[in-house]
């Protein structure tokens, strides 16, 4: 089998979570950098990476990495890449996205144009044609310049992997599915423990938790651009990965996952989203304010994304809201609670400093993942067979 390298981008601050996911799939880590993990795998990594990874935004097939300080150098080195190994004669190819940080070549549109010309020149020579109809399958190219070094990848995913296919309805400031999964995976929560999200919005955190608990692969109900790359990946590899994902689902599982929100229409949307994800039977959604949150069970988890106050009128209400969060959560004295927020004074008004505070970039927005750790539940007495 051939060996390929893949680039898996993620939110800044979540590289360790993604690295662990990739290792759990059995692939070799090549490099961990800010906002991305590079790993090696064979043909089945195209399918298994896209279908199983919960915390990456997309999966790029790594094509090349080199230094370029002039457009002439960029053109010649791009042209030297054996693009014919990836793009067939009728392939549709373009530089979908170019980013440049601290590099001499900084204009994305110019970089995109030069690279497209270089790829065309290469393929004209190989395929002995002067015009490409580009009527076949898509091969979107993404590149990143960092300190004059370019990394080139072809996007195997198509739509971003946070689009699982279940979220048809969203609240005003939804958290992405990939970020929600990562927040859960940063905690010790497991399917046997209670989980409550008192600001559940369209239900993303409870739904992702239910999918994790039931071992439902996040990419099972969507398609990927590389499914059609039959010159590189045989169709049977995709069928095999889907079969593997189906076999791993825990169909008879029971969990205690609850989602609350003050907005009744949003709760209806959350129920619909959970139904589309196939986990509506595992989650209890209810219209309820955070001040009314209570629970008679111990050692539960709260994982939540309360309002950040991005608009001025919302910002004025934040001190009282976070005081209410502090009063309510502190009453659940045996629970652990995890809060993601961009509100810098959150800990002050909650009235307690977090045990851990992890910085995570939600796009360009700097957020804080405040982790308040409760006591561990007592170990269950072991049963010995006579």
In this prediction, residue 383 carries a pLDDT of 60
* Pairwise CA distance, residues 288 & 267, whole Å: 10
As for how many domains the chain has, the answer is 2
With respect to residue 160, please indicate whether it lies within any of the assigned structural domains. Answer: no
In this prediction, residue 249 carries a pLDDT of 97
9 and 142 inside one domain? yes
Mean pLDDT, residues 272-287 taken together = 97
Mean pLDDT, residues 213-234 taken together = 96
Q: Where are the alpha helices (DSSP H) in 105-234?
A: 108-127, 177-185, 204-213
175, pLDDT greater than 60:
yes
CATH number of the domain enclosing 256: 3.40.50.150
Q: Report whether 225 contacts 155 (CB < 8 A).
A: yes
128 and 205 inside one domain? no
Supply the range of the domain harboring residue 112: 4-155
Looking at per-residue pLDDT, the higher value among 228 and 313 belongs to 228
In this prediction, residue 362 carries a pLDDT of 85
Give the model's confidence band at 172: pLDDT under 50 very low, under 70 low, under 90 confident, else very high: low
338-353: pLDDT as tens digits: 999 999 999 999 999 9
CATH number of the domain enclosing 148: 3.30.2130.30
130 and 250 inside one domain? no
382, pLDDT greater than 70:
no
* Pairwise CA distance, residues 49 & 63, whole Å: 17
In this prediction, residue 271 carries a pLDDT of 97
Looking at per-residue pLDDT, the higher value among 258 and 296 belongs to 258
213 and 139 inside one domain? no
Backbone conformation region of residue 8, classed left if phi is above 0, alpha if psi is from -120 to 50, else beta = beta
Mean pLDDT, residues 72-99 taken together = 97
* Pairwise CA distance, residues 153 & 166, whole Å: 28
With respect to residue 386, please indicate whether it lies within any of the assigned structural domains. Answer: no
With respect to residue 226, please indicate whether it lies within any of the assigned structural domains. Answer: no
89, pLDDT greater than 90:
yes
309, pLDDT greater than 90:
no
CA 210 to chain centre: 16
261 and 146 inside one domain? no
With respect to residue 64, please indicate whether it lies within any of the assigned structural domains. Answer: yes
Instruction: Report the percent of the chain where pLDDT is more than 90.
Output: 89
Q: Report whether 272 contacts 170 (CB < 8 A).
A: no
Residues 6+ apart with CB under 8 A from 385: none
* Pairwise CA distance, residues 348 & 94, whole Å: 49
105 and 203 inside one domain? no
Q: Report whether 204 contacts 236 (CB < 8 A).
A: no
Q: Which of 163, 171, 176 is nearest to 307 (CA)?
A: 171
27-73: pLDDT as tens digits: 999 999 999 999 999 999 999 999 999 999 999 999 999 999 999 99
Residues 6+ apart with CB under 8 A from 251: 214
202 and 341 inside one domain? yes
Mean pLDDT, residues 287-297 taken together = 92
CA angle 289, 295, 296 (to 5 degrees): 155
With respect to residue 383, please indicate whether it lies within any of the assigned structural domains. Answer: no
CA end-to-end span of the chain, whole Å?
Answer: 51
Helix 71-79 to helix 108-127 angle (10° resolution) is 30
In this prediction, residue 101 carries a pLDDT of 95
Give the model's confidence band at 2: pLDDT under 50 very low, under 70 low, under 90 confident, else very high: confident
What predicted TM-score, i.e. pTM, was given to this entire model? 0.94
With respect to residue 164, please indicate whether it lies within any of the assigned structural domains. Answer: no
In this prediction, residue 161 carries a pLDDT of 97
Mean pLDDT of the chain: 94
90 and 36 inside one domain? yes
13 and 124 inside one domain? yes
205 and 95 inside one domain? no
101 and 148 inside one domain? yes
With respect to residue 235, please indicate whether it lies within any of the assigned structural domains. Answer: yes
86 and 118 inside one domain? yes
With respect to residue 268, please indicate whether it lies within any of the assigned structural domains. Answer: yes
List the 336-341 sheet strands across, edge first: 283-287, 257-261, 195-197, 301-304, 336-341, 365-372, 356-362
Lowest pLDDT segment from 29-33, 206-210, 374-378: 374-378
């Amino acid at each position: 089998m051939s060996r390929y390298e893949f680039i898996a981008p993620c939110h800044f601050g979540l590289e360790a979570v993604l690295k662990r996911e990739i290792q759990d799939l059995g692939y070799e880590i090549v490099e961990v950098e800010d906002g991305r993990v590079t790993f090696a795998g064979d043909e089945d990594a195209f399918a298994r990476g896209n279908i199983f990874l919960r915390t990456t935004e997309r999966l790029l097939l790594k094509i090349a990495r080199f230094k370029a300080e002039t457009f002439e150098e960029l053109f010649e080195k791009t042209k030297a890449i054996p693009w014919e190994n990836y793009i067939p004669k009728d392939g549709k190819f373009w530089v979908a996205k170019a980013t440049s940080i601290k590099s001499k070549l900084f204009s994305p549109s110019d970089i995109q144009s030069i690279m497209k010309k270089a790829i065309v020149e290469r393929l004209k020579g190989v395929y002995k044609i002067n015009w490409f109809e580009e009527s076949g399958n898509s091969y979107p190219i993404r590149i990143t310049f960092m300190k004059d070094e370019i990394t080139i990848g072809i996007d195997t995913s198509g739509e971003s992997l946070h689009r699982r296919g279940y979220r048809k309805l969203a609240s005003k400031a939804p958290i992405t599915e990939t970020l929600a999964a990562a927040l859960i995976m940063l905690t010790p929560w497991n399917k046997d423990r209670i989980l409550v999200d008192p600001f559940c919005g369209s239900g993303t955190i409870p739904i992702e938790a239910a999918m994790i608990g039931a071992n439902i692969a996040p990419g099972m109900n969507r398609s990927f651009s590389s499914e059609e790359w039959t010159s590189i990946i045989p169709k049977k590899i995709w069928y095999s990965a889907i079969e593997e994902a189906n076999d791993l689902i825990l169909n008879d599982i029971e969990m205690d996952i609850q989602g609350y929100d003050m907005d009744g229409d949003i709760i209806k949307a959350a129920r619909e989203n959970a139904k589309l994800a196939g986990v509506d039977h595992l989650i209890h959604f209810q219209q309820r304010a955070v001040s009314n949150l209570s629970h008679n069970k111990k050692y539960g988890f709260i994982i939540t994304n309360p309002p950040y106050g991005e608009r001025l009128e919302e910002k004025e209400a934040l001190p009282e809201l976070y005081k209410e969060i502090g009063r309510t959560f502190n009453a659940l004295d045996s629970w652990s609670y995890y809060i993601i927020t961009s509100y810098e004074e959150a800990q002050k008004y909650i009235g307690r400093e977090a045990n851990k505070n992890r910085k995570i970039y939600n796009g360009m927005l700097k957020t804080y993942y405040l982790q308040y750790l409760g006591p561990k539940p007592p170990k269950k007495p072991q049963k010995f067979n006579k």
